[in-house]
Amino acid sequence: GAVVSQHPSWVICKSGTSVKIECRSLDFQATTMFWYRQFPKQSLMLMATSNEGSKATYEQGVEKDKFLINHASLTLSTLTVTSAHPEDSSFYICSATFDSGDSYEQYFGPGTRLTVT
Amino acid sequence: GESVGLHLPTLSVQEGDNSIINCAYSNSASDYFIWYKQESGKGPQFIIDIRSNMDKRQGQRVTVLLNKTVKHLSLQIAATQPGDSAVYFCAENFANDYKLSFGAGTTVTVRA
């Protein structure tokens, strides 16, 4: 089955530093990738849509200069949290979409736990 | 056991019983719906999906029902097992752009 990986699975960083999170589709080329943020006991909130070779589309209220997204290839998207602050501590999840033509499915990564101290 | 999703975010069910998890979706134009299971510290896992031209779809031990008139989606789990303990989310797509909007989630706890 389709597998999406994320790296790292967890990271602790100091306030003011930047953190990069990778999302890879391991056995398929993703039409589109998405980045979500999830706070404890809450639902997934879509942050941005990432397409290979084009600028990411951010949801309302998400700062594009703070959450930099780079989609280098059809199998890799990265999210960089710049100048991280404690309020950025969250569970970040990516997903990758595989479109077979007849239908599509969205596969989720295992998530990255970010803690900013 | 039965949950109304957004209003009762937890559901406790006896092992072996059937579970019903409900979800009220927001957009009448949505045409694709998915149920996901999320275990603690992990990403969402696909359970079953349904398109708006269907009312019911069955999988292995799971059934999804769609009522477009009242914008209601439900997930039925037959013979609930301890491994079914997790948070369940419904998600909807309405722009055919792969973007999903997630519901609040229901925490299911299976009692032995």
pLDDT digits (tens, 9 = 90+) for A34-73: 999 999 989 999 999 998 888 899 999 999 999 999 998 9
Q: Hey, are the CB atoms on B43 and A109 less than 8 Å from each other?
A: yes
pLDDT digits (tens, 9 = 90+) for B13-60: 999 999 999 999 988 999 999 999 999 999 999 999 999 999 999 999
Interface mutation vs chain B, best among A24, A25, A34, A44, most B CBs within 10 Å: A44
Q: Hey, are the CB atoms on B98 and A108 less than 8 Å from each other?
A: no
**Number of separate helices (H) and strands (E) present in chain B:** 0, 11
Closest by CA to A109, choosing from A5, A1, A2, is: A5
pLDDT digits (tens, 9 = 90+) for B47-100: 999 999 999 999 999 999 999 999 999 999 999 999 999 999 999 998 777 899
Cβ–Cβ contact B98 with A under 8 A: yes
Q: Which residue of B has its CA nearest to A90?
A: B41
Confirm if B8 and B24 have CB atoms less than 8 A apart. no
Which tokens sit at A38? 């999830």
In this prediction, residue B6 has a pLDDT band, given cuts at 50, 70 and 90, of very low
Which tokens sit at B61? 């031990």
Chain B residues with CB under 8 Å of A44 CB are: 44, 89, 102
Cβ–Cβ contact B26 with A under 8 A: no
At B1 the pLDDT is: 52
Q: What percent of chain A has pLDDT over 90?
A: 83
